[in-house]
Amino acid sequence: MLNLFIDADACPVKDEAYRVAKRNSFTVSVVANQWMNMPNDPNIRLEVVDDGFDAADNWIAEYCERGDVVITEDIPLAARCIAKGARVLTGRGRIYDENTIGGAVAARELMQYLREAGTIKGGQKPMQEEDRREFAMELEKMMVGVRKAVVAR
């Protein structure tokens, strides 16, 4: 079974993910702390978790498996999923894997420290159409790679 997990509460590219997943025959689990409007598609399901701290992250980390694809901006969640063998992509098309997650964790901690010290303010630039295209292209490549790996087994 080919699975895509979306950390949905702040994900700006759900529609793009649904289209790419459908084209590649992936089942989609949209994990959120609240109900949201969903496409009428039997391969896309909404998993509403309680609103406790990291409840959606914990659900995804529990249910993802080797070969699954996870979309998240959350670096600690990405690290947990990579440790289970899942592939991870951000909403802007950045790939996290066993070679890049350590640096991402360190950069996150540094940025958090600098924000708390008042040295840095603000966050990422607003999402652009170019970011959406980059995401869709990277997700397509990732899903094709997963499908080839499954066929090769």
Q: pLDDT (tens digit, 9 = 90+) per residue, 105-139?
A: 666 566 566 667 777 776 677 889 999 999 999 99
Tell me the residue range of the domain where 114 lies.
3-152
Which 3 state secondary structure label does DSSP give 108? helix
Cα separation, 27 vs 20, in Å, equals 11
Instruction: Report which of residues 80 and 103 the model is more confident about.
Output: 80
What CATH number corresponds to the domain at position 145? 3.40.50
Stated length of the chain: 153
- The residues near 9 (Cβ < 8 Å, ≥ 6 apart) are 32, 33, 34, 56
* 29 contacts 14 by C-beta, under 8 angstroms: no
Per-residue tokens: 86 = 């899942």
So what's the pLDDT on residue 125? 79
Cα separation, 83 vs 109, in Å, equals 19
How many independent structural domains does the chain possess? 1
Per-residue tokens: 153 = 């087994």
* 68 contacts 87 by C-beta, under 8 angstroms: yes
* 89 contacts 26 by C-beta, under 8 angstroms: no
Per-residue tokens: 20 = 């790419």
Q: pLDDT (tens digit, 9 = 90+) per residue, 9-56?
A: 789 999 999 999 999 999 999 999 999 999 999 999 999 999 888 999
